[in-house]
Amino acid sequence: MKTRQLRDLTVSEIGMGCMGFSHGYGKVPDEDYSIEAIRKAYDYGCTFFDTAEVYGMQQFEKGHNERLVGKAIEPFRKEIILATKLHIDTDEVKTDGSLYNTIRRHFEASMQKLRTDYADLYYLHRINPDIPVEDVADVMGRFIKDGLIRGWGLSMVNKELLERANKVTPVSAVQNIYSMLDRDYEKKVIPYCAENNIGFVAFSPIASGFLSGKVTTETKFGFDDVRTWVPQMKKENIIANQPVLDLISSYANQKNATNAQIALAWMLKKYPHIVPIPGSKNQERILENLGAWKTELTDDEFEALDAALSKIAVHGSRKDVGFATEYID
């Protein structure tokens, strides 16, 4: 697989979001299947794996996903870029005595679960308005200097917060939602990242599976499935957004690819500094998504597709349910 840069980190141009093995998309597969899936992704050429300390809390316990990923990637740990995330509560900083102590405690707990002693990429999962982002950036700079992490990042941030953080310690990557149906960050954040050598890691690049075309008005979502509240998955929006599926399906047929592969290929063609991290708990889907790197759109095909997409009204933005709206610009 081709590679891309997240500042100084070299990653496969499509990464793997591992959350679904622990929660978020209904019943999870058993551990052996999940570990096999992660290792098959690596064998295919994926060198970028994403997790977080909180993944798993709904069905298991905090840290479940980190433990699973750590076990899976242990044989090839030094050959990959491993990313995890932390969230900081206001009260715990008071208890720990300093922000450095709090972040260090979170970090050490994650490294124990991940069976490693360093993180390639360490994200602040969500902004806590009580804690200045500059203070977090300063701690991350100390971590980099001490060799604990190779780079750091922010998730779901706007340009203003990103700019403030980047002035203190250069940011390696921003992980925000981005897909054909969620394009708000094209306005400011994505251009800022391009101008400042910051990678943009796109989560939910297939719009929680909608762009695959496999979700219908008859699809039922059960316990611990984010799609129960994602507006694009409401029956009326599935119907209203059909023109998007029709458009990408026409390209999929022409290119002998799947809808999901076209959605990813569009993203890769549009921005050279974007790395999508589709998440799936199904081995077949994982390899299908990674295979999108072979689906290349010509300049003419891309321009026609992009122009057509821009003319289609999207229904059911996540902003409609207050999804981190304070961080979108």
For the cut 80, the answer to whether the pLDDT of residue 272 exceeds it is: yes
Answer whether residue 231 is part of any domain.
no
* 94-119 confidence digits (pLDDT tens): 999 999 999 999 999 999 999 999 99
Give me the pLDDT at residue 220, please. Answer: 86
Give me the pLDDT at residue 322, please. Answer: 57
Answer whether residue 269 is part of any domain.
yes
Give me the pLDDT at residue 23, please. Answer: 86
For the cut 90, the answer to whether the pLDDT of residue 30 exceeds it is: yes
What's the structural domain count of the chain?
A: 1
Give me the pLDDT at residue 323, please. Answer: 58
Mean of all residue pLDDT scores within the chain = 94
125 pLDDT band, cuts 50/70/90, is: very high
Nearest to 276 by CA among 168, 146, 182, 163: 182
Whole-angstrom distance, CA of residue 156 vs CA of residue 174: 8
| Alpha helices, H only, the chain | 31-44, 64-73, 90-96, 99-114, 133-145, 159-168, 189-195, 235-240, 242-255, 259-270, 283-290, 299-310
Give me the pLDDT at residue 26, please. Answer: 85
Answer whether residue 314 is part of any domain.
no
Whole-angstrom distance, CA of residue 126 vs CA of residue 108: 19
Answer whether residue 186 is part of any domain.
yes
Whole-angstrom distance, CA of residue 292 vs CA of residue 61: 33
Fill in the DSSP letter of residue 286.
H
Which of the residues 25, 33, 44, 55 is marked catalytic? 55
Average pLDDT (133-154) is: 98
Query: 12, 46 in Cβ contact below 8 A?
Result: yes
Answer whether residue 224 is part of any domain.
no
* 209-243 confidence digits (pLDDT tens): 999 999 888 888 888 888 888 888 899 999 999 99
Answer whether residue 233 is part of any domain.
no
What crossing angle do the helices spanning 64-73 and 99-114 adopt, rounded to 10°?
50
For the cut 70, the answer to whether the pLDDT of residue 93 exceeds it is: yes
Answer whether residue 325 is part of any domain.
no
Fill in the DSSP letter of residue 231.
G
- Catalytic residue check, 118: no
Tokens 């490693």, located at residue: 116
pTM: 0.95
CA distances (Å), origin 136, targets 7, 99, 158: 19, 8, 16
Average pLDDT (180-197) is: 97
Dihedral of alpha carbons 215, 221, 227, 233, sign:
positive
Answer whether residue 123 is part of any domain.
yes
CATH of the domain at 89: 3.20.20.100
Q: For residue 80, what are the domain limits? A: 3-208+263-296
326 pLDDT band, cuts 50/70/90, is: low
Average pLDDT (188-198) is: 98
Per the structure block, which two tokens stand in for 203? 């989560």
* 274-319 confidence digits (pLDDT tens): 999 999 999 999 999 999 999 999 999 999 999 999 999 999 877 6
Give me the pLDDT at residue 320, please. Answer: 59
